Amino acid sequence: MRNTRNNFIAALIVVFMAVTGCEAPDQEIFDEIPNDVALSTTDPTALQAFAVGAYKPLVGTWGAHNSLWSMHEVASDEMAITHKGADWEDGGQWIRTHQHNYLPSEQSIGNGWGYCYSAIGTINNLLKNFGSSELLRSELEVLRAMVYLWLIDAYGNVPIILETDTDPTPPTKTRQEIYAFIESSVLDNIDNLNQTKTYATVNYYVAQAILAKLYLNAGVYKGTPEWQKAADACKAIIDGGLYSLEPNFLDNFKTENAGSKENIFVINYDKNNGVGFNMPQMTLHYSSQATFNLQQQPWNGYASLEEFYNSFDPADKRIGSFLAGPQFSSTGVRLTDLSFEPTDPDGAPLTYTPEINQLFPNSLRQAGVRIGKFEFQLGTSPDLSNDFPIFRYGDILLMRAEALWRLNASSTEALDLVNQVRARSWAGNPLATLTADALLAERGREMFAEGYRRSDLIRFGKYNDAWWEKPVSAASKNLFPIPQGQIQVNPDLVQNPGY
C-alpha cells in the first residue's frame, strides 16, 4: 500500500473521502483542484486515486471464513470442515455444504451475497459521482463485471443493479441475462483500459481474464459453449508478454508476493491496512500456533480430503501446498496435542494425517492435511499480508489448453501448454496425451485453494458425483440458493430451483 504525497492525489483523496465517508491515510492536505478538472483528467495516477475506493470492499471476506471462498471450497472435493466433538458443529452448516444439502438460510450463502453486492454498491456510488470520466468509468464497469462473474457462478440468477437504478426491490434476472451483461460490460470498455502492467487494479489483461473465465464456463452459464472465445481471450494475455510463470510455484503465494510475474489480478491484503485474510486461523491445529509463533491460536478447521491430497505425486513440488505429517515448533520441538482422542493412532504427538476418520460427529482433531499454499510468516497476526491471486498466468495457460482441447482433442498446443505448467513443478513428467480426467486433475493440482475447484467440477460434469462422505447430489445443487434473508426483504427475487 502506497501513500503518495503530491498535491493532485491529496486533492483527489479529499474528494473521495467526501463520497465514501472512509478514513484516509495520514498525509498533508493541499488545495482542492477544480471539479471539472478532476472529472476530465486522463492522468492514470489521478484516476487510480478515484478508483481506490472500489477495490477496498473486495478485501472484505474473500480470504476469510464463512463467505464466498468457503462456499466454493467446502462444497468441492478439495477440502472439508469436520465436526470434532463440539468444535465446528456450527449448526451443521459445513456438513450440509460438504454433502450438497445447503439451505437458503446458511450464513456463508448470505455472507457471499452480501460481499458481492457491497462491492457493487461501492462501485455504483463511484460511478454515480465520477462516471463522467470515460477512463474511470471503463475501469469501474469492468470491475463490476468481475463481481457479477462471481455472482453468476455461485447464484446464477441475480439482480442487475446499476448506478442509475432506484428500485428498492430489484428483480431477479436470468443467468443468460447476467452473462450478456458481463460480456457487454467488458467488451464495451476493454479498449479504454491500460495495456501496461498494473497491480491489484483492472487493466486490459484483467478484462481479458474475466472474459476467459466467462467464456470457459459459457456452456454452464448460458447453455452454449464458447471455447474459441475462451481460447482467444487467453491468447490476448499470452501475446501481451507482460506475464510469465514464476520459476518457483509457491512464490506466487508468499507474504511479499507483490513482485510475482504471474499474478495478473490480486486482492490486496495487508495485516495493517487491508485485513481479513486469516488462513492460518482457519486451517491450522491449535498447537500449530507454536510452529509459526502466531499471535493468536488457530481454530483447527479446514483440511484437505485424502483422495485429493493423494492425487499429488510426492515429486510434484505443488505438494508443498499442504502441511502434512509430524509437526514441530519453530525451534524444532515435536508438538503434542494433550487433548488427543484415545482412538487417534498417532497419540499425543501432533501429526497431520491424510486420512480423516469421519466427517462428523467425532472427527479426530489431527485428521486431515492442512492448507499450506500461502506462506505463514513467523509471528504473523491472524491477518496475513499475502495478496490473494484471483487471475494468475498459470491458470490462463491451463484455460487456453482446455478450450483448445475441447475444440480439438488432438491439439498439440493444448498438450504443450499443460506440460509447460506441469514442468515448472514436476520436471521430467510430461503428459503424452490429454483427457478430460487429466485436465481436471492438473487444474486441481495447480489451482488448489484458489476458489475455482467447484466451478471446474461443474464444467467437467463431476460436481454431482459421490466422494468421501458425500452421496450423489442433484443437478439443482450446481447453484447455491438465493439467501433466505434476501428473499424476505425483496419479494421480486425468485429462488433457484430445488430450494
263-281 pLDDT, tens digit per residue, is: 999 999 999 999 999 999 9
> What pLDDT sits at residue 132?
83
* Per-residue confidence (pLDDT) for residue 22, from 0 to 100: 34
Least confident interval from 24-28, 448-452, 483-487: 24-28
Window from 24-33, 103-112, 144-153, 421-430 with minimum mean pLDDT: 24-33
462, pLDDT greater than 70: yes
The predicted pLDDT at position 44 comes to 66
Q: Rounded to an integer, what distance in angstroms lies between the CA atom of residue 22 and that of residue 16?
A: 9
pLDDT at 447 exceeding the cut of 60? yes
At residue 25, the pLDDT reads 29
pLDDT top residue among 406 and 7: 406
What gap in Å lies between CA 425 and CA 427, rounded to an integer?
6
**What pLDDT score does 28 carry?**
31
Mean pLDDT, residues 433-461: 98
Output Rg (C-alpha) for the chain, integer angstroms: 23
Judge contact between 140 and 54, C-beta under 8 A.
yes
Q: Residue 275: what pLDDT?
A: 95
Q: Which of 453, 440, 362, 371 is nearest to 75 (CA)?
A: 453
Mean pLDDT of 132-151: 95
Q: For residue 431, what are the CA distances in angstroms to 245, 412, 428?
A: 19, 11, 10
**Average pLDDT over every residue of 134-160:** 97
pLDDT at 193: 96
What's the pTM? 0.92
Compute the average pLDDT of residues 403-418. 98
**Least confident piece of the model among 30-44, 194-208, 306-320, 478-492:** 30-44
For 343-369, write each residue's pLDDT tens digit: 999 999 999 999 999 999 999 999 999
pLDDT of residue 43: 72
pLDDT in tens, 154-182: 999 999 999 999 999 999 999 999 999 99
Q: pLDDT confidence of 50, banded at 50, 70, 90?
A: confident
- 186 compared with 24, residue with greater pLDDT: 186
Percent of the chain with pLDDT over 70: 91
Average pLDDT over residues 364-378: 98
205 vs 211: CA distance, rounded Å: 10
Instruction: State phi, psi for 73 to the nearest 5 degrees.
Output: -75, -45
pLDDT at 131: 82
Place of cell 509463533: 293
User: Quick one: pLDDT at residue 417?
Assistant: 98
